[in-house]
Structure formats: C-alpha cells, structure tokens
Amino acid sequence: MQWIEIMIKTTEEASDAICEMLAQLGADGIAVCDPYEIKRIIEDPESLAYADEGYVDSLGTDVVIKAYFAELDDGLIRMGAKSDEYIDPDGIGMIYDNITDKSMRADEALEELKRRLGEIGEYLNVGDGFVGSKYVKDEDWANNWKADYKSFRISDRVIICPSWEETEFGADDVVIRLDPGSAFGTGTHETTSMCAELIDRYLSNVPDGKLLDLGTGSGILAIIANKLGATDVEAIDIDKLVVDVAIDNCEINGCSDIKCHTGELRDAYEGSYKIIIANIIADVIAAIVADVKDRLDDDGVFICSGIINTKADRVRSAIAACGMKIVEEHEKNDWIAMVVRK
C-alpha cells in the first residue's frame, strides 16, 4: 500500500467546505496550513506560539490543504467510507449527504476531486484549487502534518498540546494531549473553542451530572469536560474509525473512563443528560433538536455549534418549534455557538 498526497491551494473562505468535501471523499488524513489562522494565533497575547520574524509573510496568502488517500495493493483508491464503518449504513445520508462508497483508479479519483472542487467554486472562491499530487512514503504522510500542529490555548484554562511536544505549562493550566489522527477536531476551529469556553462555564454548576458529546470526532470536547470535572461523560460518533481515534486520545489523557462508542443520539446509554454537546453542522442540529429535548434533564443545557451564520436561522427556528429557548449565542468568524434550555 502507498499514499497519494493531493495539494490544494485555496482561500480562507473556502477552506472549511473543501476539508468537508475531502472528508466525504474518504481522505485518511487532512493537513491545513492557513496563514491567516497562524497569524491570529501568533498575535494572540494569550497564545503560547511564536514565530521568527518574517515567517508568517513567507507563508503567502493561500490556504494550503494536503489530503492523503491510501492506494491499495490492487491499485485502487478507496473513496468514501465502507458501509461497515457505520452503525447504520442506510442512515449515513442524514449527516454525510454527499458521501461516496466505492473505489477508483488514481486518475478517476483525481477527476472526481476536481469535479467536487468545481461544485464548491460555484458559490465560493476556491482560488487556485487543485495544484498537484504525488506519492509519499508511509512515514512521510504520517508525520508531515505535525509541523503545523503546535500547542495553543483554547480557553482561559485549557491548552491543547500534541502528544509529541515537550512543553512546560502553568500549575493552573488544564492540558489536553491530542493526536487528531483522521478525526475532525484538533481544537483550532472557532466552533471547538466556543464549545470549550461554554463547557468550562456550565460545568461549574453541574460537575456531577451526566454529559453527552454527540459527534465527538477526536474526542476533544469530551476530554475537556472530563478534565474540567465532569465525572460521567459519554462520547458518540457515527464513524467507528473516529471512535477508535477518540478512545486513543482518551487514554493518552488519562480519561479512559469516558464511554466512547459508535452511534447517534438514539444509541446513547442514558435516558437523560444534564449537558448535551453537539459540535456538528447546522442542518443536523436542526434535525435532531427535538430529540435532544427528550434526552435533556429539565434543568439541563444543550450546547451546540458548527453553525455557519448563514444557516443560523434554520437552527433558531427548529429550537423554537420544539419549545426550547436560546439563552446564549456567540459568534466567531462567521461561526455560531448556542446554549439552549427547555
């Protein structure tokens, strides 16, 4: 087996949509070098990151995305997810409405990727788009992306640190050691940081209540909640491969008591929860909010994010329609997080 590295140069506004598309196509790894995000992190007075003079300018103005796909011994690239990676293969369209489930030759796979980029380009400026591909060795694809992943502060108390980095932190810092693997959720995204801040605040009132993290991805929010004092944490994701990554990250952080498993809301272990977190996408949040209400304690809170501002009204309408109310709303760079109560 060998790996194909695909490089895309794009704009900041289109980078999230392209990463989602690559995930839908079944990329085994995605690395993003965003000069704008790096600059924001370096200029943040609370950031632990630093850079030599001229480094940020040397990155240029393009967001560079590298995606890695496995080419199997038969010369085919697996595009999309195998059906046995999902607990309910017939229902994956609810979340992954554009997912594929087949294998292709390399040239066919590249044409499919270019076609998807063209679709995104119909409503977003994708910049240069696809700029090339090459084969890389196992050790190269497994380690190249680490160069762009450094420690950073996600909230007042919480720091995200890759497991391979040796850094000393303050006595009051809560340090999360995180290897994202192929799962979404390194903590750099605005939606994750907003969720972390809200978890920190609301856990102070309900540290002993049951907490559910829907669509856990790398497990980052479940781990943050556990580290901040939540004693009964459950984490669910529809993708078995993602759950494996989350379990590994829980073990790395000494949080092996977090109950990670494959499924969706209907597969949650408990009848009700004090806090339910869903950092997913607006359409799914709108679709499940009524079911969330049924699984929420009367005095519980639903923390949801992953909501792009252009779809926020759909989520607000769904919340109102099921008789719940938004008690807080926050926005960072066009992304919105909400705190909802019955």
Mean pLDDT of 118-137: 90
3-state secondary structure of 135: strand
92 C-beta neighbours (distance < 10 Å), count: 20
* Nearby residues of 44 by Cβ (< 8 Å), 6 or more positions away: 153
* 2-147 carries CATH number 3.30.70: yes
pLDDT at 91: 44
Half-sphere exposure of 154 (CA within 13 A, CB side): 30
Residue carrying structure tokens 């960072």: 332
pLDDT at 246: 87
**Higher model confidence: residue 17 or residue 7?**
7
What is the pLDDT confidence band of residue 83, given thresholds at 50, 70 and 90?
A: very low
Residue carrying structure tokens 């990250």: 249
Element (H, E) at 129: strand 129-136
DSSP 8-class letter at 154: S
pLDDT at 275: 95
Mean pLDDT of 234-242: 85
Please state whether the predicted TM-score (pTM) of the whole model is above 0.75.
no
d(CA 125, CA 107) in angstroms, rounded, equals: 25
Instruction: Give the domain ranges of the chain.
Output: 2-147, 149-341
3-state secondary structure of 219: coil
d(CA 253, CA 115) in angstroms, rounded, equals: 40
What is the pLDDT confidence band of residue 4, given thresholds at 50, 70 and 90?
A: confident
Question: How much of the chain exceeds pLDDT 70, in percent?
Answer: 79
- CA 149 to mean position of chain CA atoms: 14
Dihedral pair phi/psi, residue 170, rounded to 5°: -70, 160
Mean pLDDT of 313-328: 96
Low-confidence winner among 115-129, 131-145, 311-325 (lowest mean pLDDT)? 131-145
pLDDT at 51: 55
Mean pLDDT comparison of 101-115, 159-173, 193-207, 319-333, highest-scoring range: 319-333
Q: Where are the alpha helices (DSSP H) in 121-165?
A: 138-143
**Averaged pLDDT of the chain:** 81
Mean pLDDT of 222-240: 91
CA Rg value for the chain:
20
- Would the CA dihedral through 260, 262, 264, 266 be positive or negative? negative
Question: How much of the chain exceeds pLDDT 90, in percent?
Answer: 36
Q: What topology is assigned to 149-341 in CATH?
A: Rossmann fold (3.40.50)
Indicate whether 14 pLDDT > 50: yes
